Amino acid sequence: MLDYLGLFVGGIEQVVTIAAVAIVILALTALGGLTASRHRLRSGDAVYGWAMAVAVCTAVGVLTPLPFTEVAIVLAGLAGAAAFQTRRRDGRFLPPGALRMMFLAVPLIALASAMRASQWDEFSHWLPSVRFLLETDAFPDSRTPLTGASFPAYPYGWSLLPYLASRIAGRLLEAAGPLLNIGLLVTSALLVVDVVRQNSGERRQASCREADRSHSDRRAASSPPSWGLCAMGLAAVTLLNPTFVQKVILTSYADFASATALGFAVVLGWMALNSLSAGRAGLARRRAWEMGLALVVLVSLKQATLILAILAVSSVVIAGLLDPAITKRRLVGLLVPMVVPFAVVYALWRYHVAMELSGAEFVIRPFAEWSVVMIPDILATMAAVLAKKGAYLALMLFATGAAAKAVVRCRTAFDRLALIVGGIFVGYNAFLLFAYVAAFGADDAERVASLWRYNQHLGLVGVVFAWYGLACLWRRWPLPARYQGWLARLAIVLVLAAPIALAHKVRFDQEPDKPHYRAVADVLGPLLPRGVSMIVLDPLGTGESAKITEFQLGKKVGQVLKVSAFDDTRVEILRGFLADRKFGAILVHSVTPAVNEALGSTFAEEASYLLLSDGRGGWRLAATWQKPAG
C-alpha cells in the first residue's frame, strides 16, 4: 500500500514544483487577458499570454544583453497588474470551468509532479536546454554555442516555461515539463468545451448566422460549464484522445505543446471564418489576431513547426476562398493579424540563428544524398505505421473525405472545419515524406523514425473535429435527460478514477532499471575526477543509461562514450576503447561475455560497476551498486 501511495507522493520537491508551475500558468493567463480583448475566446488566455512572453523574451534575448531573470521580473509585475485589470473588466480572472477541470485533474497532477525525467529526448535535448537557460540567463550564441542539447538552435518557446518555473524555485525542476503539459491538457479541454458550447448549433449557413447573432457566445463566456461537461472535455483530450501517449505528454517533450498551439490556431481561424460568414467582420478580426498569437507559440516550439503554421494559415485561407458566403476582400483583411505576429517572432529567431548558431540544428542534406529511390518504401512504411493507429487514422481519413466533399460544396461550419483539418493532415504528412527523403539518414528514413510522434502534433485538431461533429449530431438527436445525467456522472468517475487505477502505467519513470540508472548517476559525481572522460558500457541496453549519466553529471565530466546494444561490441572493438588513454573511468551497467573478456573480469549482471584508471593502463574497481530485484 505504501509503495502504491508513493506513486502519488514525492515529498517537498513535489510541492515546490506544483507551486512554481501554478505561478507560471496563472501569470500567463493574466498576460493573456491583457493581450487579447474582452471578447476573446477565454479558453486561450494562457496561450495568448505565452505568446506575449515568448515574443518579449525573443526580442530581448536576440537584440539586447539583458538577462532573462530581469525580463521575468518585469513580466511578473505586468501579470499582477493584468490579473487585477482582467478581474475588474471581465468579472473573473480564470476561464470559466478552469477550476473544475483542475480539480478533476488532481490525481493526474499528483502522479506527474512526483515523477522524474526518464525519456531519451528529455536527457538529450529538453532538460539540457532548460538547464542552459538557468545557468546563462540567455540564449546560446557564438560565445556559448554548446548547451548540452542535441540541437542548440532549436527555438526556446517551450523551454522558457520550465525555465521560469525553475527560476522561481531556484533550481532545475524536472517535473515542471510534465506538469505544464497537464496545464495544457486542461487548456485544451476548455477549448473542446468552448467549441461544443458555442458552435454545436451551426449546421447550415443560415443557422450559423442565427447562432452568431444570438447571445450564446456571451453566455458561454460568462457561465462555467457543468461538472459533467468539464469531465467530458478532459476525457476528450485524455482517455478518448487517440493521440494521448503518456510517454510523450507526461514528459518534458514539446510535442503536446505543439498540438495545443496548433489546435488553438485552427479553431480560432475557423471561428474567424464563421464570423465572416455571419457578417461579423469585427469579431473575425479579433479571432484572426488570437490565431496569430497561437501561431507565435507554435513557431517558437520546434524547428519544423513553421510548416504547421504555414499549413494552418493556408488551410484557413483555402476554406475561406471555397465558401461563397465569404468575400475575398474581407478574407484578405484577416491575413495581417494572422501572419504578422508569428512572422516577426520567427524572423527574429532566424536572424539570431544565422548570426550566432549556424549549423546547430537539423538541416536539409545536399540533393545528391537525398533518399529519392526509397520514396515507395518510405510511403509504404508510413502507411503501415499509421494503419496501426486505427482510431487516429480513421478520424483523419474521415476529415480528409469530408474536406474533399467540401471542395465541391462548402456551406456550413462543419465544411469549413473539415477543409482545414483535412488540408493540414494531408499537407503535414506530405512534408514528413519530404523530410524523410531530404533530411533524415537512410536508416531513419527507412523506418520513418518518430512518424507517430510527429502525427501527435495533429492530435488536438482531430479531437476538436470529432467533438464538433458529435455536438452537431447531439443537437439533432439529443439523448433523453436521464441518460445525459448518467453520461455526465460516468465521465466524472472515469476522469478521476483512471489515473488512480492506471497509476503504475502512468509512472513509466519507475520502469525496470530507470530508477537504478538515476540512483547511480546521483552519487557518481564525487567518485570521479573532475573533467574526466568516461565510457558507459551497457551492451544489453538502449543507451539511455549513458544519456542519464551524461545529463546528471553535466560539466563534471568531459566526453561520455555510449556503448549500447546498437553498437559493435565485439571484444576487439571494446579493447580499442579501453586502450584509449583519454578515458579515465568506465561505468558498466550490463555485462556480456565480450565485456568480461575485454576487461579481464567476471562481473555479474546483477550489479553496476565503476572502474577508474590506475594510471598504468589498467583499471581498478571503485564502486559497485546492486540492481533492485525484479
Residues 327, 109: Cα–Cα separation, whole Å:
46
Q: What is the pTM of this model?
A: 0.94
Residues 87, 511: Cα–Cα separation, whole Å:
45
118 contacts 108 by C-beta, under 8 angstroms: no
The residues, ordered by sequence, that sit 6+ positions from 102 with a Cβ below 8 Å of its Cβ are 109, 186
Position 219 scores a pLDDT of 47
- Maximal CA-CA distance, the chain: 87
Q: What is the DSSP letter of 95?
A: P
Position 362 scores a pLDDT of 82
Position 474 scores a pLDDT of 86
Please name every residue paired with 453 in a beta bridge, in sequence order, or none if there are none: none
Position 68 scores a pLDDT of 97
Residues 202, 217: Cα–Cα separation, whole Å:
12
**Torsions phi, psi of 560, nearest 5?**
-120, 115
381 contacts 227 by C-beta, under 8 angstroms: no
Give the closest residue to 129 by CA, choosing from 332, 388, 357: 357
Residues 465, 551: Cα–Cα separation, whole Å:
40
Position 307 scores a pLDDT of 97
Q: What is the DSSP letter of 366?
A: P
- 175 half-sphere exposure, CB direction, 13 A CA radius: 28
Residues 347, 353: Cα–Cα separation, whole Å:
10
Position 253 scores a pLDDT of 97
* CA dist list (Å): 193 to 44, 203, 234, 405: 12, 18, 9, 27
Which amino acid is present at 510? Q
Please name every residue paired with 560 in a beta bridge, in sequence order, or none if there are none: 534
CA angle 316, 319, 323 (to 5 degrees): 140
Burial 555-565 (b: 16+ CB within 10 A, else e): eebeebbbbbe
| Burial label, 547 (beta-carbon count in 10 A; 0-12, 13-18, 19+) | buried
262 contacts 240 by C-beta, under 8 angstroms: no
Please name every residue paired with 583 in a beta bridge, in sequence order, or none if there are none: 533
Residues 411, 190: Cα–Cα separation, whole Å:
27
What SS3 state is found at 426? helix
Residues 366, 438: Cα–Cα separation, whole Å:
8
Cell triple for residue 336? 495581417
Q: Which stretches of the chain score pLDDT less than 50?
A: 201-221
Q: Please report, to the nearest 10 degrees, the dihedral formed by the alpha carbons of residues 259, 264, 267, 268 taken in order.
A: -150
Residues 246, 257: Cα–Cα separation, whole Å:
14
Q: What is the 3-state secondary structure (H, E, C) of 499-511?
A: HHHCHHHHCHHHC
Cell triple for residue 542? 538502449
**Torsions phi, psi of 11, nearest 5?**
85, -165
Q: What is the pLDDT of residues 529-550, one digit of tens each?
A: 999 999 999 999 999 999 999 9
Give the closest residue to 484 by CA, choosing from 229, 285, 177: 229
Position 475 scores a pLDDT of 85
Position 335 scores a pLDDT of 97
Query: Do the bridges between strand 619-626 and strand 557-563 make them parallel or antiparallel, or are there none, so unpaired?
Result: unpaired
Position 222 scores a pLDDT of 62
Residues 184, 182: Cα–Cα separation, whole Å:
5
Which domains, from first to last, does the chain contain? 96-116+176-505 (no CATH), 514-626 (3.40.50)
Q: Which helix (H) or strand (E) holds 281?
A: helix 281-299
Position 210 scores a pLDDT of 36
Residue 526 CA, distance from chain mean position: 35
How far apart, in Å, do the first and last CA atoms of the chain sit?
18
